[in-house]
Chains A and B, each alone.
Chain A
Amino acid sequence: MKKGKDLFTENLGKKPREPISNTNLLMTITICTFIGMYMIAMLVWGGGFLNPQQFLDLFNNNAFLVIIACGLTMIMISGGIDISGGGVTALVTMACVVYLEDHGGTVAGSILLALGIGLFFGLLHGILVAYLEIQPFIVTLAGMFFARGMVTIVSIAPRTASHEAFLNLKQMRITIPGLGYYGKTGIFIPAQIELGVVIALIVVIAVAIILKWTRFGRNLYAVGGNSHSALTLGINVKRTKFYAYLLAGILSGIGGYVYLLHTGAGDAANATQAEMQAIASNIIGGTLLTGGVGNVIGTLFGMLSLKTITNIVIASGLTKPYYQSITTGLMLCFFILLQSVILAVREKGAIGLLPEWLRPGKKDKNQS
């Protein structure tokens, strides 16, 4: 095999191709699965799946989840975990609605409030995890309890926003030119996305850029890969972790506001289990809980896969809610096992089982 490869490179005069990294491999699998799943859904069930609006609704309904999951991706790459996302989202929705309704707040003020709440949680988690070295699971669990408890302290009853300027913002829709569907009356209804989706996509792109091209982003990978090494390489590990939690906190704040823009109501039951869905999206997207591996694009597709499978279950007639979570569980199980098997095979070098492009790079030991 080695000879063949050398010949190949000589003939073409190209650099040898690098074997695909774990991050990219897992991400590719997720993207392929999603596309495959959607294609099959379009062919088998047609109907809603052929409607571009339904596709865009995946984004409309879950923009906040994407934002929270992006923050979580950064934390998971650094080797941590954050389970406070859902709680912070709920707190932000409630606090902003109460502020807008009862205290005569402005839209700008409510946005600042949302960011402030996110910042507070980010700071709290960051300090406790990075500087006091407390287990992130416990810290963010306490964060989640605190946020969920605060929601009811702010208001026990669910509230709906009726603030005019806010409602205008909430109703804002962006039409995608050329996309749409014909309604029952035969009128062409253009496909629309909400403002939150735009924010979510900006966040995804921004986080992707941060992870790939900034010092902070690369430091995250280094810290997650081996924090001891990162320290001796001159990386400020504590600060890197701190910023990861801080940014994730702010993103939770933004996510909360986006949630509010979607539903327009504050409720203690908002975004229940969003943290677990965010973790699931990350896992399906190929971010490992062990740290050092992951990608925010994968997370986006992880979320899309997770939600598409739910749509498929509904489309196939299993409308009882419990079928959806059972299939979600099954899908998670499938991805987790798949990743575990692929990584184990790559590590152990049972190479014969894998196609060429999946094989890990050969150790250089015998090259001389």
Chain B
Amino acid sequence: MQNDIILSMRNISKSFPGVRALQNVGFTLRKGEIHALMGENGAGKSTLIKVLTGVYPKDSGQVFLNTDNSLKEINVKSPYEAQNLGISTVYQEITLCPNLTVAENMFIGRGSYQTVNWRIMKKKAAEILEKLNIPVRATQQLDTCSIAMQQMVAIARAVDMDCKVLILDEPTSSLDEQEVEKLFSLKRDLKSRGVGIIFITHFLEQVYEICDRITVLRNGELVGEYEIKDLPRVQLISKMMGKDLEDVSALQKRKPVGGETEGTPVYEAAGLSSIECSNAFDFKIGKGEVNGFTGLLGSGRSESVRAIFAADRITGGKIRINEKDVKIKKPKDAMKHGIGYLPEDRKRDGIVEDLSVRENIILALQVMKGFFRPFSRAEAEAFADEYIKLLGIKTPSMDTPIKSLSGGNQQKVILARWLLTNPQYLILDEPTRGIDVGTKVEIQKLVLKLAEKGVSITFISSEIEEMLRTCSRLIVMRDRKIVGELKGEEMTQDNIMHTIAGEAV
């Protein structure tokens, strides 16, 4: 039994000034298992991983690693040391160097070489890539590979370093399903080689598809360790969220609202195309309607809504708003016509890291008001205060830089920014990505509430369930083209899958 355990963390505690991030948390990983580490944002998952990989020193507790068939206590001081001990991490953001070749990325920073033998390195890299069945060339520059391939290169690097413990920190967030499948088959392959894998993700389906066991953390404390078959989905959610169980199930049962108000289209586009979205498409949305774009990542759904907001350069199309012809050539035009857009990539396109919550909230309204008419400090504070309360944004003060907030709260700030402009049409591109379950539910509720008030909403999410819950009409995309539209009764998970796949139902 002892030999089966490859990593054991006991009574780990870690506190930051004023916060106990981890309290007596234990964690055990067996050989050849895929172990999900679940919890809301701020539950302590990443702190635990960072303690394990030596990014943070632990306050108390012990870490044991299986070396030569016996558990030995280890004390990791840096990620580098962790790597050498056989603990490798693959992060959501690729942590390889884009300007080097695949082979170099696999070998750089390892061992004690002083000179580089390119020929041997290429040969070795090619062997490993072939062994793991990763379809990239060793001599290829890394930035010419897709994100999924880059992640696999990172995994290949870890495997070649004889890793015993592989930590995958939200690796699938930016992958489409085919890529996820490729990644999963690689994971299964590693599992059969006896590598212990710690898998952190927000996607419940993926957990149930591939994992063997689950450890749940909440508020820095261990909730429990479960075999996957003993823990149904709803229970897992309740364990992660604590008391909010009823809330989740209530929401799940609710029928989509926002009828088919075809009568008065708020926004209508004919033959709209942008330089990122070259296939012209028609689209309209009625007052108070919630519809959604669905399709695999890269199917063009984000590009389509970006075209609606004129985020990329528009190359053609006619637009009518409230049945009047208008021209929308740049985001500011769209904003003037009451369109709001919450972007897919919060960090890149949403927040202004160093500015305060207040400035982040008033930004869009300020731009609409005009360059020469800034809000007074009092006005801005009143707005910020109102929305911090309305959305329950957790922030020490409205002058705190937004970068120090958690992901969910940052998302709420951006939502507040658009709600403040009082839009008639709001586009939400993956508003629930990478945030904890509690906030996800809140955002979905908010969407429905807004729709009731008559705001039209386009909602995009990678989780089809979320879309089914909120949308009354789904536009299905494949290969950058609209391939179908589903309404009312037609909207089932099955139907969507079939339409995406392009098969007859």
Task: Verify whether A and B have any Cβ pair under 8 Å.
Answer: yes
B99 touches which one: A18, A225, A234 (CB < 8 A)? A225
Given A232-B95, A233-B105, are A215 and B80 also a contact pair (CB < 8 Å)?
Answer: no
Kindly identify, within residues 211 to 237 of chain A, every residue whose CB is under 8 Å from any CB belonging to chain B: 212-215, 217-219, 221-222, 224-226, 228-236
The answer to the question of A19 belonging to the interface, with a C-beta cut-off of 8 Å to chain B, is yes
The answer to the question of B2 belonging to the interface, with a C-beta cut-off of 8 Å to chain A, is no
Range class of the B interface residue count: 35 or more
Report how far A234 CA is from B80 CA in the complex, Å. 5
B135 touches A235 (CB 8 A): no
The answer to the question of A175 belonging to the interface, with a C-beta cut-off of 8 Å to chain B, is no
From A360, which residue of chain B is reached at the shortest CB distance? B144
Range class of the A interface residue count: 35 or more
The answer to the question of B248 belonging to the interface, with a C-beta cut-off of 8 Å to chain A, is no
The answer to the question of A368 belonging to the interface, with a C-beta cut-off of 8 Å to chain B, is yes
B98 touches A361 (CB 8 A): no
A18 touches B97 (CB 8 A): no
The answer to the question of B231 belonging to the interface, with a C-beta cut-off of 8 Å to chain A, is no
B96 touches A233 (CB 8 A): yes
Number of A-B contacts defined by CB within 8 Å: 100
Report how far A228 CA is from B148 CA in the complex, Å. 19
Nearest-Cβ distance from residue A78 to partner chain B, whole angstroms: 12
A18 touches B141 (CB 8 A): yes
The answer to the question of B317 belonging to the interface, with a C-beta cut-off of 8 Å to chain A, is no
Nearest-Cβ distance from residue B352 to partner chain A, whole angstroms: 20
Report how far A22 CA is from B98 CA in the complex, Å. 12
Kindly identify, within residues 429 to 478 of chain B, every residue whose CB is under 8 Å from any CB belonging to chain A: none
Cβ of A292: which chain B residues have Cβ within 8 Å of it? 97-99
The answer to the question of B357 belonging to the interface, with a C-beta cut-off of 8 Å to chain A, is no
Report how far A225 CA is from B84 CA in the complex, Å. 23
Report how far A214 CA is from B113 CA in the complex, Å. 9
Nearest-Cβ distance from residue A19 to partner chain B, whole angstroms: 7
The answer to the question of A103 belonging to the interface, with a C-beta cut-off of 8 Å to chain B, is no
From A19, which residue of chain B is reached at the shortest CB distance? B144
Report how far A363 CA is from B116 CA in the complex, Å. 27
Cβ of A235: which chain B residues have Cβ within 8 Å of it? 108-109
Report how far A224 CA is from B182 CA in the complex, Å. 31
From A233, which residue of chain B is reached at the shortest CB distance? B109
The answer to the question of A149 belonging to the interface, with a C-beta cut-off of 8 Å to chain B, is no
From B142, which residue of chain A is reached at the shortest CB distance? A225
Contact with B along A43-72 (1 / 0, CB 8 A): 000000000000000000000000000000
From A226, which residue of chain B is reached at the shortest CB distance? B97
B108 touches A218 (CB 8 A): yes
A213 touches which one: B98, B105, B115, B178 (CB < 8 A)? B115
Report how far A293 CA is from B97 CA in the complex, Å. 12
B146 touches A213 (CB 8 A): no
6 contacts between A and B (CB under 8 A): A214-B116, A229-B97, A232-B91, A364-B136, A365-B298, A368-B135
In the A-B complex, the 5 residue pairs with the smallest Cβ-Cβ separation, listed nearest first, are A361-B144, A234-B109, A225-B99, A225-B97, A365-B146
